[in-house]
Structure 1
Amino acid sequence: MFSKLTKVLMTAALALTVALPGLAFAGPAEWPTTLKLGFIPTEGAADSAKRAKPIAAELEKDLGVKVEIFTASDYNGIITAMANSHIDLAYFGPKSYVEAAEKANAEAVVMELNKDGQPGYTGIIITKKDSGITDMDKAQGKTFAFTDPNSTSGYLVPNVIFARDMKIDPEKYFQEVRFSGSHGASILAVKNGSIQVAATNNIDMDRMIEKGAASLDDFNIIKRSDMIPGAPIAVRKDLPESLKVAIAGSLLKIDDDPEALEILQNGGYRHTSDKDYDMVRYLKRLKAELAKKK
């Protein structure tokens, strides 16, 4: 009977052999004894570490290596950690992944699915239900929060909406613009009234609702984006090819673990590659071009 590790390697190696014939695999003897898993703080470091645990557990079980979880106070901390080889793989957002691919030798291997099994999510702009701010026109002159400069739905996408669709400069349109640090912080800030308008996304809103921190009835959703590619888990390109493939195979097994999916608050993962994030690169270029026209 094959071991779990052998099954993961056989399945993943077969898929990669078809895609990359002639590739010579390193064996488990070439692997590190410990893998360090980074997680961007979408809800704050503590909650992100909790969500990382099922991933770490599956990798340890399948690969036979210890997995340590690494969090940071902002998205750039995870990018920097990978750039300096302090972590081996990480959960990124689409924009932070594109930054990590450019600066930290990151390579996407799986993409997060939403609970409906779709490979993506939507950005939303929210206000407090009883605020009277029911559309973007009424948001003018209010306080506004982005999440993090490396966030897709919390920074890049709303900036494109403001510049391309609304033809506004948020620094002038809103009374004050801040960075909250995480999607969870933005959602709670709008709920408690310390921020009047904020950019976030439907997946992180659902996560806050599921853990009882907020209710959809607390908010108006005054803007929605088009579909954004799902968040990737990426590895360092310089890891052994057999390890990268085994990591991807192990992560895909989480799809069959309801308890893990409940903690992760997603619909599992699917195979992905770097080119799936070319749309995000386009949005980055578009934002830069629109900024020049101000």
Structure 2
Amino acid sequence: MKFLRSLIVGVATFACVAAHAEDLNFGIISTDASSTLRQRWQPLIDDLNRKTGLHVKAFFATDYAGIIEAMRFNKVQIGYFGNASAMEAVDRSNGEVFVKSVNANGVGGYYSVLITNVNSRFKTLDDVFKNTKDVNLGWGDPNSTSGTLIPGYYLFAKRGVPVTSVSFKTVLPSSHEANLLAVINNKIDVATNNTQELDRLQTQHPDKFAQVRVLWKSPLIPSDPLVYRKDLPQETKEKLRDFFVSYAKTDPHEKEVMKNLTNYSGFAASSDAQLVPIRQVALFQQKQKLEADTSLSDAERKTQVAAIDAKLSALNDAAAKQ
């Protein structure tokens, strides 16, 4: 009897461990309010659990860094990121890109934009840069691709205007949703955002969409990736990859879930290679800052710039082989 009792306890313990190994937290970056994100993502997570047998729970934080750090300390095992935050998750949090979103319009990515209210005094981009010290700028999360990284380089750095409180009247970092509402309600002069948010606004609230003017659009940004931790069991990785790659291909319910999620049609297989263009922009920005840093000696600056040039060269080679 004692042996049987021990055996039962052992099996129960093993079952708990096995179940725990299948418990995952799905981190979702804070593009909008947590309640809004939960409403969009929970139907997909429910389907994920039902189809794979995994026990996945949504995990939210107040900013992008919260999801990156949660993955770093294994509080989050899978996450939805933008490319800039995915780069941080890969570099700092033992992450690995495994799929990317596919837009409903078939475009292989999306665009960063600078927006203003249709009735604002800013009719063109030249109006903004005529005197930026008189402009209230709505800025993105520090780890946002479309809210900070891409416009920081392609829109502002290329014009020699750093995004600081010295260059602008005010710089107000916030979520895409908050920046969009601030522009619609004339609470801010201009703000960064992206075409995914605008497409959703046009579909759901065409009257509010009519209040937005786009002043600038970036080069194409690779579509948003999903990242999981490299140390997940291989079987779990395969379950996740298979689920997302096959999701919403034919099933009407799944197609509706994706449409409500963020106007996506589904997911496609991907890898860390999709981050190469983002790495190139980030490194080029670092190089520009070093070249303008007067606190460094010429020798220090030359050494650090050379190191960045070497990384850029390696990335260019990697991009050429894709």
| TM-score, normalization by structure 1 | 0.85
SS at match of 1:113: strand
Q: Which of 256, 263, 266 does residue 260 from structure 2 map onto?
A: 263
**2:137–2:188 CA contact under 8 A, matched in 1:** yes
Match of 2:193 in 1: 200
Q: Please identify, of 153-162 and 257-266, the stretch whose mean Cα deviation from structure 2 is larger.
A: 257-266
Contact 2:22 2:236 in 1 (8 A): no
CA–CA separation in structure 1 for the residues paired with 2:47 and 2:136:
42
Residue number in structure 1 paired with 2:236: 243
Give per-residue Cα distances to partners, 1:84-111, cap 9 Å, x unaligned.
1111101011000000101111111110
CA distance in structure 2 between the aligned counterparts of 1:33 and 1:238, rounded to whole angstroms: 13
What are the ranges of 5 or more consecutive residues in structure 1 without an aligned counterpart? 1-28
Q: What is the TM-score with the length of structure 2 in the denominator?
A: 0.78
Q: Distance in 2 between matches of 1:54 and 1:279?
A: 32
2:66 aligned partner, one-letter code: G
Q: Letter of the 1:123 partner, please give it.
A: S
Identity of aligned residues (%): 29
Q: What SS class does the counterpart of residue 268 from structure 2 fall into?
A: strand
Q: Deviations over 1:28-74 (max 9, x none)?
A: x6872322111001122221222221331222122112211111110
The structure-2 alpha-carbon separation of the partners of 1:214 and 1:111, relative to structure 1 and needing over 3 Å to count, comes to farther
Aligned to 2:100: 111
For residues 156 and 69 of structure 2, what CA distance do their matches in structure 1 show? 29
1:230 maps onto 2:223 in alignment: yes
Instruction: Tell me the CA shift for residue 214 of structure 1.
Output: 6.2
Map of 1:177 onto structure 2: 171
1:46 aligns with 2:62: no
- Bigger drift between 116-125 and 256-265 goes to 256-265
Sort the Cα spacing of 1:176 and 1:186 in 2 relative to 1 into closer, same or farther, 3 A: same
CA distance in 1, matches of 2:144, 2:122: 24
Q: 1:49·1:70 contact (CA, 8 Å) conserved in 2?
A: no
CA contact (8 A) 1:184 1:208 kept: no
For residues 292 and 44 of structure 1, what CA distance do their matches in structure 2 show? Answer: 36
In structure 1, the partner of 2:208 is 215
Distance 1:155 1:213, change over 3 A: farther
Higher CA-based Rg: 2
Length, aligned pairs only = 266
Measured after TM superposition, the shift of residue 199 of structure 1 is 0.6
CA deviation after TM superposition for structure 1 residue 150, in Å: 0.2
Give the one of 64, 81, 85 matched to 2:74.
85
What are the ranges of 5 or more consecutive residues in structure 2 without an aligned counterpart? 1-17, 293-322
Contact 2:255–2:265, Cα closer than 8 Å, also in 1: no
Partner Cα separation in structure 1 for residue 104 and residue 65 of structure 2: 27
Q: Specify which of 258, 274, 277 is matched with residue 276 of structure 1.
A: 274
Secondary structure of the 1:117 match is coil
Q: Cα gap change, 1:109/1:214 in structure 2, threshold over 3 Å: closer, same or farther?
A: farther
SS in 2 for 1:226: coil
> Which among 108, 113, 127 is matched to residue 138 of structure 1?
127
CA shift, 1:267, in A, is 2.1
Partners of 2:103 and 2:264 within 8 A in 1: yes
Tell me how large the CA RMSD over aligned residues is: 1.9
Change (3 A) 1:220 1:88: same
**1:73 matched residue in structure 2:** 62
What letter matches 1:136 in structure 2?
L
Cα distance in structure 2, aligned partners of 1:192 and 1:293? 40
155, 159, 173: which is aligned to 2:152? 159
Aligned residue in 2 for 1:37: 26
One-letter code aligned to 1:199: T
| Residue 164 of structure 1: how far off its partner (Å) | 4.3
Amino acid across the alignment from 1:89: I
SS at 2:27 equivalent: strand
Query: Whose RCO is larger (CA < 8 A, sep 6+)?
Result: 1
